[in-house]
A and B are shown apart, each in its own frame.
Chain A
């Protein structure tokens, strides 16, 4: 137990990348993430999407793949491929930003509850359990509908509703660390509580937080897609979910315009799967007890 913690706490970024690459699931996940990141970061620079560039006439609406539009056009005659590139950027951005909020709130609460225990722990965990059982999607829809359709609102809504699991996991790990001998030892040497948290607790829960964070990104991207599909997406910043919303309400399915509703869906599947695979693989590396299967 002790040995495992020490090693995982001291290894750097490239050590874990190597370990992930050596694991089959981790490798496929890394490849998926690399491809999507490339699409999200590089492609929109060379193929920017201009929402105002609508088709000239009715004949340009929902046309199939052609030389001018490699992935056809949407219900306003705009290029689907360019939209797909921009969508990757927005979906990834919202997912990551929401995860940052969720991780900070969740691990912060978890560490403080687990370290200070007692009454603080009781209150914080009561709140956590409440948010754990309240179904997230209806709450997100209500908040999204009230505070309006913009990207900041969506990020905040998803971020502030996705932390309870992180808080639970981090708390139980902190609680078990708290029982170890180094806490009273450090205290008797005159370390303050905050210093013990910073130098002893945080480095040890870090691998757990990272593994959990990777899985949270997957959940946040799915949440964003769902909210946007419901019609709460930012109309000025088209994500893959927003594309699916417009393809649905414009009747692309009935007209058989597969080029409009297949790519964004596969995009979401691809990136969520990427994060899920890397997350599970990372969990296996940092917690060998789980890695029985391969």
Chain B
């Protein structure tokens, strides 16, 4: 499979580029990073040298770079001076929580988004279609974090009823696993809904446009000529072919999803990568910021690679033409 190999090579070179970029980005920080970390001028030369070594900042820039690469390969992401623990442990826990949030909202977005998009697209130009397009554009124009703030206000202050912060109730004692599961699920509701609200708009618009494009193809006329019902035409012929351009837009969607998740985690204190990034920005904890940025980006690159492969599987035409 020459294509697969080529695509895999692109993925590897992209990851390599982002790793290198990441290294240089955090090594050109204006000012001496050690002074920044120590936050004091009263360090003797010995202490500075020791810190420099412990953060991998001694030696030439090239030797620092190779040491950085070898550490990275061994899963050593450095030490967080604000959380006082290894970055790899911090990031590992956060990654799981973020994936939970992303999976939950992607499920909603894909199922509802496609259904609404197909609904609107098959009624092109009618009132229900226009209403769907307008409300999608309004949802798309709202900052994700602000939608979150509105929900926090509504369900935490005004009406109440749903947890607005964290992943589980603080200091709660659970009598069984199910109770724990239910507690997390309740905490998951508002962050998931917030993330879904904004991203679903994007999905609706893309699906709708794709369906309208497909409906004007010649084979749709054939299908109608065969006497197929409207539902069969839209779902069996239209929907299936419309899914391909939707999948092509997945790169944009993945990027938007990650951006949205960061905001949602900040608003709801969801202990994932986004909240970690936010806290590391506030504390100027560069090792954590560096690692969370790197891991998020690599995860997105891998997800795009997977989407690309899926596209090949679903549309044999692409494989043949290339």
- Please report A residues at the B interface, Cβ cutoff 8 Å: 130, 132-139, 141-143, 145-148, 218, 222, 225-226, 229-232, 241, 244, 247-248, 253-254, 256, 258, 261, 265, 268-269, 272-273, 276-277, 280, 292-294
Are B124 and A293 in touch, CB under 8 angstroms?
yes
A-B contact pairs, 5 of them (CB 8 A): A137-B259, A231-B282, A248-B145, A248-B149, A273-B141
In-complex Cβ contact of B30 among A147, A253, A272 (8 A): A147
Q: How large is the interface on B (under 10, 10 to 19, 20 to 34, 35 or more residues)?
A: 35 or more
Binding stretch for chain A, among B41-49, B99-107, B176-184, B296-304: B296-304
CB of B161, distance to nearest CB on chain A (Å): 16
Complex Cα–Cα for A134 and B282 (A): 23
Complex Cα–Cα for A237 and B142 (A): 22
Complex Cα–Cα for A272 and B254 (A): 21
In-complex Cβ contact of B143 among A135, A268, A292 (8 A): A268
Residues of chain A contacted by B251 (CB below 8 angstroms): 132-133
Q: Is the interface of A mostly helix, strand, loop or mixed?
A: helix
Are A231 and B141 in touch, CB under 8 angstroms?
no
Q: Is B204 an interface residue (CB 8 A)?
A: no
Residue of A nearest to B22 (CB): A142
CB of B243, distance to nearest CB on chain A (Å): 20
Given known contacts A146-B30, A244-B149, what 20 new A-B pairs fall within 8 Å (CB)? A133-B304, A134-B18, A134-B255, A135-B297, A135-B300, A137-B262, A138-B258, A145-B289, A146-B26, A146-B29, A226-B145, A229-B263, A248-B267, A253-B153, A253-B156, A256-B157, A265-B149, A268-B142, A269-B142, A269-B146
Residues of chain B contacted by A258 (CB below 8 angstroms): 153
Contact with A along B127-159 (1 / 0, CB 8 A): 001100100011011111110011011001110
CB of A269, distance to nearest CB on chain B (Å): 5
> Which of A136, A226, A254 has the most chain B CB atoms closer than 10 A to its own CB?
A226
> Which residues of B256-301 are within 8 A (CB) of A?
258-259, 262-263, 266-267, 277-278, 281-282, 284, 289-290, 292-293, 296-297, 300-301
CB of A88, distance to nearest CB on chain B (Å): 15
Complex Cα–Cα for A241 and B146 (A): 9
Are B124 and A143 in touch, CB under 8 angstroms?
no
Complex Cα–Cα for A253 and B165 (A): 13
Are B149 and A141 in touch, CB under 8 angstroms?
no
Are B149 and A253 in touch, CB under 8 angstroms?
yes
Are A225 and B124 in touch, CB under 8 angstroms?
no
Residues of chain B contacted by A232 (CB below 8 angstroms): 281
Known: A226-B143, A253-B153. A135 touches B296 (CB 8 A): yes
Q: Is B111 an interface residue (CB 8 A)?
A: no
Are B138 and A142 in touch, CB under 8 angstroms?
no
Known: A134-B297, A276-B141. A145 touches B281 (CB 8 A): yes
Are A229 and B259 in touch, CB under 8 angstroms?
no
In-complex Cβ contact of A254 among B129, B145, B156 (8 A): B156
Complex Cα–Cα for A292 and B208 (A): 12
Top 9 A-B residue pairs of the complex, sorted by shortest distance between their CB atoms: A137-B259, A272-B141, A273-B141, A265-B146, A135-B258, A135-B255, A142-B293, A145-B281, A135-B300
In-complex Cβ contact of B152 among A135, A143, A230, A253 (8 A): A253
Are B149 and A222 in touch, CB under 8 angstroms?
no
CB of A131, distance to nearest CB on chain B (Å): 10
Residue of B nearest to A229 (CB): B145
Complex Cα–Cα for A229 and B264 (A): 12
Q: Is B2 an interface residue (CB 8 A)?
A: no
Residues of chain A contacted by B289 (CB below 8 angstroms): 141-142, 145
CB of A141, distance to nearest CB on chain B (Å): 6
Are B153 and A141 in touch, CB under 8 angstroms?
no
Are A136 and B255 in touch, CB under 8 angstroms?
yes
Q: Is B25 an interface residue (CB 8 A)?
A: yes
Residue of B nearest to A280 (CB): B137
